[in-house]
Structure 1
Amino acid sequence: MDSSIDDAEPARQPTLNRSDVKTLGLSALGGTLEYYDFVIYVFFASVIGKLFFPAHMSDGLRDLQTFGIFAAGYLARPVGGAIFGHFADRFGRKRMFTLSILLMACPTLLIACLPTYESIGMAAPVLLLLMRLLQGIAVGGELTGAWVFVGEHAPPRHYGFSLGVLTAGLNGGIVLGSIVAYVVHAMWSSAEVQDYAWRLPFALGGVFGMVSVYLRQFLGETPVFKAMQVQRKLTREMPVRTVLREHRGTLLYLGVQIWVLSAAIGVILLLTPVFLQKNYGISASEALSANVIATTAALIGCVVTGWATDRFGARLVMAVGWTGLLISSHVLYAGLPGTPQWVTLHYAMTGFFVGTVVIVPVVGVRAFPAAIRSSGLSFGYNIFYAVFGGLTPMLVSYLLRMDHMAPAHYVAVLCAVGALSAFLPMPGREERAPAMQLA
């Protein structure tokens, strides 16, 4: 592809109309249901470990194997991102956007039907691993595909807000998963959960996915891709080759933001409940209830951050948002163990600033020319997130042995880097049409 060719950015309505609201609503709902499918595994990991591995296996080894299968889904994400991004640039955003959720729904439904180790021996964990790999491929295409799809539909004045609502919907899958897990454990005894009730959330996830596939049939192709088809500006070579040859600086800039995102999500939302229990003696119920509130606050933060980029510009919001996360996370950890009310309040405040992660799609969708946009964002995001998302838990856990404030310090260093990057030249600034330029 000739990089000198301008993007096909057709004129769009200045504000959200009924069609835009429908597109945004269906995209966010589908993302919630698909992410539910991906994360519901972790809420039943202990049950799955007992059912899919030998009874004589030690608890430590069983946990390692169970979470290893869970991690395999993350390792498969770059593969999914490359495949779905490539075909989205060649054949259309909508087709891949719909296919990704179908690929997620099928293995989730099959997990609900898998025989256990007692029935088929070692074939059980192998099949479970295969299902997780398929889920990882699917989610690798869903997240970035959704960002591009909504970003290319959104009116310029509501571009950030639209991506904020979508990202909140995607992360809402975590909240939905925790609610369903709570209901299952509340309605059935431990023996019943291990016998059959653990299958119900996966079956429900399969149904969720099929409903989302149906709903996405009512979405239209993005105006940008339609314009590229009409103007014959679709890339002629493999898009990833163009990304690696002409946009290495863009990938590096996004890599910094994705590293900060991995710390915000991984340390604050996923690992902090564990640290609260193990290192500060806070009960599981108190830690998890505070986490649900913090995650909900993060969803609100996503929407507010997206809206703020439309109003004040991406640079200012990036600097303020990452600085706010630096300060709030430090205050949270410095005041532990505190009272339950204190922990909940400060955890919620920190969760709100986690919503700054919306900066990644706000910058990322605009960073690449339309002809290679899906491939560039999918490749960059999934590669960097696989590396940083995988290293963060191990690195923070190691540092925690030497310093009880290690999680806060780790987040602080990365947030400082993220805030300072707001003063560097942003990728795509010189390439975008006026309606698509970064503030």
Structure 2
Amino acid sequence: MNIADLHSIFLEFPNVCTDTRKITENCIFFALKGDNFNGNKFASDALQKGAKYVVIDEKEYAESDAHILVDDVLKTIQELATYHRNQSSAKVISLTGSNGKTTTKELINVVLSKRYKTIATVGNLNNHIGVPLTLLSIQNDTEIAIVEMGANHQKEIEFLCGIAQPDFGYITNFGKAHLEGFGSEEGVIKGKSELYDYLLSHERNVFLNADDPIQLEKLGSYIKKFGFSTEKHQFYKIEFLGANPFVKIKAEDISINSQLIGSYNFTNCAVAVLIGKYFGVPMNDVKDAIESYIPENNRSQILEKNGHRVILDAYNANPTSMKAALENFKEIEGKHKIAFLGDMFELGETASKEHQNIADLAKQCDFADVYLIGENFNGVRTSMKTFVSFDSAATYLKEHPLKEEADLLIKGSRGMALERLLDFI
């Protein structure tokens, strides 16, 4: 079956599923494969649960007319997504970067949805499967699709651009993330800049942080760029008014008080303002959208727990974001501060050095106490508390509960799941 014919079926049954545990009535199930599973084996099960069609790539599982046999299921869903994207009149904004992608995506979405019918990447489904699923959620009335792109090695962003074919793009920043895959900070810059390469080669529009020298250098004299800056007059001016703890900014004499902590969220808010401005969203609506946005999913949340003020930033971590979080925690008003820091993953050969650097920085911050949790942090040279695992830290907290009310920072990579510490505070 060719993509055009499959797309006709998709338009009639526009719900896509890749997990038999989440089958919806009359959906199309794509039998993807992974290292430890073969979706073809679950195709008939998907039909029994209510799927209208199943797309498979192994002939032995083709049992009925409801089984659509293709050469490669993954390639098919990617090609279908691109075909669907090109049949739509929706504009596609893609964004990538080392830190802040999901928060930035959410902010752009709430701003643009004030005036347009938008769809956006759900959560952080930003890979070779997530991007197609986002594109396939474009509906007839969708005007703008905001597509997040993640990557941990070279050529991945280039590949995702080929699927999404963005009209606009933005890179949040270049930091020390996924060094194991990218090889170095220079590798990160090269890999993330594949979004720029696509946009420039296709003469598409680029949004940028003009205060980032890397972005400014990469885009050079390119005409179709639209940037924000705190000081460069040729770009849209957005002022940073502070973050104690919430980010406050100013644009066109209008102050915006976000519910996002940390100065590192300034650029995330600023680009949402810039993009809102570009697309003609009234500034009062931009202000309302950003001020109403409340972070969730363990991203820069502020919680109260047993008298403690908790900054929960446990969704992910790398050396760049960890450094920013510590510096911000040091600057916010508060007397008794305690930091709980979990291992940073995917750092490859640099892991030992980067964990030592963060431990040294945490020591310099002179907090009341610091807990370093995980195998990497357990190996650093320090006089601070170290724990080889979450369980050992939890056991310690049960035996030595926090007595004095304090401000707490909880940050670590997703695999550490440090939000579990809330049960022991």
TM-score above 0.5: no
- Which structure: greater helix fraction? 1
Query: What is the TM-score normalised by the length of structure 1?
Result: 0.23
**Structure ranking higher on relative contact order (CA contacts 8 Å, 6+ apart):** 1
TM-score by length of structure 2 reads 0.24
Larger CA Rg, structure 1 vs 2: 2
